[in-house]
Structure 1
Amino acid sequence: MDEPTDPMTALAEAATGLHELFQSFVDAGFTRAEALEVVKAIAVNGQRPT
């Protein structure tokens, strides 16, 4: 019997990670607009938070 395929594609996993990152900034006190700008800068520059 074939193994079930993972329903989370690499793209879906990346989107989930970006949303969790965004939500973490909001939870830390950033406004939604500020959090979006930080996540956008990380995505555009290819940086990873430490």
Structure 2
Amino acid sequence: MATDSETSTDGEPWPQRLLDSIWLLALAAIVYWVLSYIVWGLIDIFTVPMG
């Protein structure tokens, strides 16, 4: 039976839930670094002159 005294994540904004959960924070960091390296690599590849 749910009561108001129990902690509820329904009203919390997503940044607060991200910062409260160590696993979500770690996952966000991994996703950030993977995406940044992929974007950095694509920019590096496309800026090399052909020839």
* Same topology, TM > 0.5: no
TM-score of Structure 1 vs Structure 2, range by shorter chain: 0.3 to 0.5
TM-score, normalised by the number of residues in structure 1: 0.41
Larger Rg: 2
